A = this chain, B = another copy of it.
Amino acid sequence: MRATTIHGTRDIRVEEVPDPTLRRPTDAIVKITAGCVCGSDLWPYRGENPIREGATIGHECIGVVEEVGAEVRDVRVGDFVVVPFCHCDNTCAHCRNGAQSVCSNLGFTLSGQAEYARVTQADGTLVTTGGVPDDDLVPSLLALSDVMPTGWHAAVSAGVKEGDTVVVVGDGAVGLCGVLAASVLGAERIVALSRHEPRQAVARAFGATHVIAARGEAAVAEVRELTDGVGVDATLECVGTDEAMTTAIAVTRPGGGVGFVGAPHGVELSARSLFDKNVGVRGGMAPVRRYLPELLPMVLDRRIDPGRVFDLTLPLEQSPEGYRAMDERRAIKVLLQP
């Protein structure tokens, strides 16, 4: 099959690789109709995460079930499915506790920017859309494989509730979906930190009531002013850097919560700084499967349109350009069509 592969820093190619095959009776193979590039793909692209040369890359996709293993019961060949980037059996103790991203049988999509992907624990992982979706729904359904549930997880982890004032740190696709999540969860004021006009526009479309272009201490000062010095009830940290986390804790009011979903790169938290403000911190990889029963109907009923984060669509063969566009922040998020 044709697949996007990574060979080194800023060296992305589209090549012929072997088709994925069923390895376990609980696997399925999905023929991908749409995949995309994730902000987290930029870490290895920029040489900040180790890679295996020539490995396929990409973990977000939707498509049609092509083949299922002997023990797959609920998912059938021909089903149109959302593929959560983290695969889970949805039956183990962790899954029953709502921590599907720490499933005892955790797996990942490894060739989401390609023609086919293997999905482990197919019955637990895959969620059918009930038929081939209308074309206009494709981006939003694709967003359900990672970026929207991740923004949602940030909001849930931060404890966003009706009437809250919320800050979202990070104007990548996850942060923007965090704005949307906070809005759906009833936040009254949503402050997006963003200095990029196209992202500000999406943030406002998703429900941001305020946009602050400043960063770091200047951003903290603006939020303080906006909240009469109190700080906000809940903050979504959607970057994963030390500066972003420091900002997130600083803008949160005493007793408030920070939800963090950006994979932390060298972030240390001082227990004392949390203690002094009684600020809670919670986050991690999103348990995508947990949220889909709630999010999928919202997309199918066109109540939310997280697919707006895709502002560039390319044929799979142009994956390298997709990476470049995101790396250079020319695109928020790139959809790839096999």
Contacts and interface: CB of A to CB of B under 8 A. Distances in A.
A263 interface: yes
A157 to B, nearest CB: 7
A230 interface: yes
A54 interface: no
Contacts of A283: 274-275, 278
B99 A157 contact: no
Interface residues of A, number: 39
Nearest to A275: B284
B264 A271 contact: yes
Number of copies: 2
B278 A282 contact: yes
Interface string A218-229: 000000000010
Majority secondary structure, A binding face? mixed
Interface string A238-272: 00000001000000011111001001100111111
Interface of A: 93-94, 97-99, 101-102, 157, 228, 230, 233, 245, 253-257, 260, 263-264, 267-272, 274-285, 287
A107 to B, nearest CB: 16
A268 B267 contact: no
B280 A281 contact: yes
Contact of A271 (B260, B276, B277): B260
Given A94-B230, A97-B253, A230-B93, A102 B275 contact: no
